Amino acid sequence: MNLHSSEELFAAACQVLPGGVNSPVRAYRSVGLTPRFIQRAEGSYIYDVEGRRYIDYVCSWGPMILGHNHPVIREAVEKAVVDGLSFGAPTPREVEIAQLMVEMVPGLEMVRMVNSGTEAVMSALRLARGATGRDKLIKFEGCYHGHSDCMLVNAGSSALAGGHPSSSGVPVGAAKDTLTAQFNDLSSVQALLEANRGEVAAVIVEPVAANMGVVGPAPGFLQGLRELCDQHGALLIFDEVITGFRLAPGGAQEYFGVKADLVTYGKIIGGGMPVGAYGGSRALMEHVAPCGPVYQAGTLSGNPVAMAAGLAQLRYLHDHPQVYTHINHMGASLAQDMGKLCETSPVPVAINQVGSLLSPFFTPTEVSTFVDAKGSDVGMYARYFGEMLQRGIYLAPAQFEAMFLSDAHSAEDLTATLEAFQQTLEALSH
């Protein structure tokens, strides 16, 4: 293909891919620009096809916690490829990665590997329904759990940015048992549980909402969910596709000290390859086929190359716990320094941060609920995005996404980012 610029590639892509992309947010529609086509990435940097270098805060939407093209992961993949790409049969590495996950996450006893976060959530929900014999589910408005039918109701992420939080094509029947509560509002959950007594199989939550921008749980919110679920015999599912192995080795369960019944994973556990997983206690997981009647299967589940990448990344995290100190510290200091710059700017910005996840909201109020997040000026975000991109900073091209830090980000990267942020604030104030 003799196309050189992002513009040329995007024009060609639009002829053969809906919106020119394979996942909507990548089309840059909410920021009104042409997406950068990427050639390669290394450490904290990503390079477009025209050779421009950016400091990357997308990090493939979370998987690249060690930075891009980490030698340990690359070597593990290279080694695995030599033995073959897929067998559709058990392999030693899938046992090793499961053992490691069980070791790193308190309370996790068994896992099932799948191919994406969407698949992990879909399967965990089926398991919750199968194990409880109940059909209803409670999710939170603005939380995103992948694109399975019953979760595309009041969803966040690009569903929200595209103005379709509830997708067309979802049969009424598939969504009728999905009830929606408000993130950080326990009374909304309590009301739904009481109105549907004995019928709710599970409450599913992103423990840190990271698909409405980043909104952390209010003190007591996750603990309160735990208690409400126990009172009503519903299972608590933490969707840790983003937070798993990111906030701490044991993810949000460890970080916030709250135990879920089922947990879903993706992103980091694949080291950059397409992997998801769901897990929980042995008693619950043994409902899954072939042990029990909850059916779920997959030709590429536990794919040997993907397992090699995920295992190498998890082993590295297990053996280098200082990664967490580093990325969480960078998150806090970047948020603090951005916040300081905002204090003297006429542009109202609220910076939210939990661990290595951040997001700026263009609003004068604090953002602790989905309503607050929706109050953010998305037009201003679009301008901010363009200004930062021009200054070599690669951010999520939509307000309702997160900024991700990796172990490869350096103090120099943060300084350069803050300089760009300061100049951007100045540009936005005119």
φ, ψ for residue 271 (rounded to 5)?
60, 20
State the virtual CA torsion across 194, 252, 250, 303 in degrees, nearest 10: 90
Which of 71, 65, 64, 74 minimizes the C-alpha distance to 38?
64
Which of 270, 252, 237 minimizes the C-alpha distance to 129?
237
Half-sphere exposure of 1 (CA within 13 A, CB side): 10
Q: Does 25 bind ligand HOZ (CB under 6 A)?
A: yes
Element (H, E) at 305: helix 304-319
Q: Using the minimum distance from each CB to ligand HOZ, give the nearer residue, 94 or 206.
A: 206
Helix/strand/coil for 250: coil
One character per residue 193-232, x = contact with ligand HOZ (rule: CB under 6 A): ------------------x---------------------
Q: Does 61 bind ligand HOZ (CB under 6 A)?
A: yes
> What is the distance between the alpha carbons of residues 144 and 27, in angstroms, rounded to a whole number?
19
CB 216 within 8 A of CB 358: no
Q: Helix count (H) and strand count (E) of the chain?
A: 15, 14
* 374: annotated active-site residue: no
Per annotation, catalytic residue among 56, 177, 239, 261: 239
Element (H, E) at 178: strand 178-181
Question: What is the DSSP pairing of strand 403-404 with strand 393-394?
Answer: unpaired
Per annotation, catalytic residue among 267, 372, 381, 394: 267
Q: Using the minimum distance from each CB to ligand HOZ, give the nearer residue, 155 or 277.
A: 155
Which of 4, 17, 23, 78 binds ligand HOZ (CB under 6 A)? It is 23
One character per residue 147-186, x = contact with ligand HOZ (rule: CB under 6 A): ----------xx----------------------------
Closest separation between CB of residue 145 and ligand HOZ, Å? 10
Q: Using the minimum distance from each CB to ligand HOZ, give the nearer residue, 211 or 424.
A: 211
Q: Does 415 bind ligand HOZ (CB under 6 A)?
A: no
Per annotation, catalytic residue among 144, 255, 265, 381: 144
One character per residue 284-323, x = contact with ligand HOZ (rule: CB under 6 A): ----------------------------------------
* 139: annotated active-site residue: no
Handedness of CA 96, 98, 99, 101 (dihedral sign): positive
Residues 348-407 close enough to bind ligand HOZ by CB under 6 A: 401
* 136: annotated active-site residue: no
Residues known to be catalytic: 144, 239, 267
Which spans of this chain sit near ligand HOZ (rule: CB under 6 A)? 23, 25-26, 61, 157-158, 211, 401
